[in-house]
Structure 1
């Protein structure tokens, strides 16, 4: 196993969602989708401390309500059952009953109390769940700790994604090796505050549910809530974290000497997944990272960064490799943050384009060549304070329209 050292965190190149101690996974094709796996499960062999955050769309799918109820019972889960291809959203009383039936079927399969199981669904909104395909197959999901099982799970949660998204890291906490891994889906209908994305994080750290929720909220605001693809927020999606406690460390709290190491571990895991989602935006060819410095505070920096990376005009300019800085500064001006219109610096990659809001001489050819890269960094300094923040997104291409014009057909 090849290890790459980054900060105090060690990235495991071959780690998976089942690498943390106590976890197993499974995935299979049931026929809800035409080809790829569409039913998956994560299982922990002990009750795991659990934290979750959900879409802020007022219209929320039935599985979210069932999951909230499960977690609220004890703050712990042992399993999450997931399907893709059908969102079970806007399906009324039948959809609610179907979500509970999925939970009960998974609990029966694992010999667990029902409240130890969460339910997730993603896919087309407004269709009744094909329960004749889902329920019988829940009973035959084969859980395992091997890489194939993790890969099968990763595929089972995808919709328009071009491929799976997973990551794994380790850190030493209390002298014990703590492992954390994540798997996610998402490529369209992505807007900060939980868009069409599902993200699952497993860890063997020992931490109580309340403290895990604190850490997850803090980290999500810096990662998943800093990505945008198309400005839409879905009805279904969430990030869910389970901690088995099997690493053997003392239970983590903000007073623990290694609390910052744990939150760094969680942030690195979530940031990896967030950037993979942004990179895989429907039809995308480039990952865009926007860095804003010199804002009044960090919150304003993030707000400005998200406005820039979410601008359709900026996104199309990046797709066309056009170093049109006017679109960037226009996005800053409408972002709603405190801005001095005469002190803004803008760079694309290593190329300064604007200083103190005055145009600089630069090579159009050089800037256009930089914008042909698969990863593009836009840097903005507002020179208005000490706040800094980042946001991630992708370019807007012809394929985005093609994919979404035929999403159901």
Structure 2
């Protein structure tokens, strides 16, 4: 991470929250852990004030009031994907660092413009992909990058779960309603396997992608999607995501000298069936499986951690570094843009009946 990680200073970074969305309840303890929460904004002042009173998190206010505050360093923005970019642009214009929930909204070109504006104004950009920040992820990343496992040849990754009922599946949830999540479950759930694939390949972009299967619901929204990515050097990856199959949150990385498998990428609770980890703070992500060339597997242990706490720590340290005269860490916006560009290409392939879509660098 270009030397930005690690504890730097006890000075609090001040954060404001734009939304009272359900995910705020999961992220808020981490924000309190690593930052000073100034308050929460909503379209409805009373709703924001009630939320702040219930969760003991500063002052409730309207969106525009939060944007204009001088005592806010960074804005956490978990607004619906289709509405988020406008507020992000406003936040950047007012000199706020950006902590945006994923998936990203708009086109890849629009996202590139937002991240470029952040860079030009000396502002940090980071998205809400929590698993990047776990101790386990960084341990595996070290092995992938230092050559211990040789070149990455192939990756498979998945994130699926079963819709709780038919109404939920047919547009009753934000993930299954394209007016709220334009790419449906490809956007909400596909972000995880696609980010895992790109991370495993060291953020090398694929040459082309293809959506090999897609299922739409009654409101014309993706509820299941699968695809293939082709990488330079005759290497490839496959993924699937959606809410029409049992719970799977995993990846397998096949390298020249061995394999790495994680079975609990998002929830961090192994194969226990503990789905609550997606909705409330948790400590986990404590093991992975490493195999050798002969197929002998070894369960590797990593220090259990809270993904959100570590994400907030990484973001706060980036902001402190900037305050001390440094520059924004470019790795984080690069990751957001890479995943969004690939996801958008998969979406385009789905719209074109599974035609291959080339990735333009």
TM-score range with shorter-chain normalisation?
under 0.3
Please report the TM-score for the alignment, with normalisation by the length of structure 1.
Answer: 0.24
The structure that is helix-richer by fraction is 2
Higher Cα radius of gyration: 1
Which structure is richer in relative contact order (CA contacts within 8 A, separation 6 or more)? 2
Please report the TM-score for the alignment, with normalisation by the length of structure 2.
Answer: 0.26
